[in-house]
Amino acid sequence: MNVEEIRSYCITKKGVTETFPFDVHTLVFKVMDKMFALLSLERVPAQINLKCDPEWAIELREEYDGIVIPGYHMSKKHWNTIYIEQLDPAITKKMIDHSYELVVSKLSKKLQQELRDKVN
């Protein structure tokens, strides 16, 4: 996948907004105002930071050594950096879905209900 494909995939998810809160080169995807992905627009090779269950994060880093690494400038326990052009698109999408769902699962019941009620 490339940066444009990642962006297109992320923004189709329910309740997702995109912002540039840090700089003009880092696109942040949020669900109900909580970050689930940070996409670098200028880094070569292209990369994305995704939230991840700590145990699965370790497994992914071992299985995709050098392609999935501890989150750059993020909590190394809860975030991975993925070199997206080097990974099978199906795996990348699975990791994006996991990040999104992990963040949604941590939202309050009220925010989860608001998300369910949203029309995308």
Q: Work out the percent of the chain whose per-residue pLDDT is above 70.
A: 99
The tens digit of pLDDT for each residue in 75-86 reads: 888 999 999 998
Query: What pLDDT, on the 0 to 100 scale, is given for residue 68?
Result: 96
The tens digit of pLDDT for each residue in 88-99 reads: 999 999 999 999
Residue 62, pLDDT > 70, answer yes
What are the angstrom distances between the C-alpha of 63 and each of 16, 33, 57, 91? 29, 31, 10, 12
Q: How many CB atoms lie within 10 A of CB 44?
A: 8
pTM over 0.85: yes
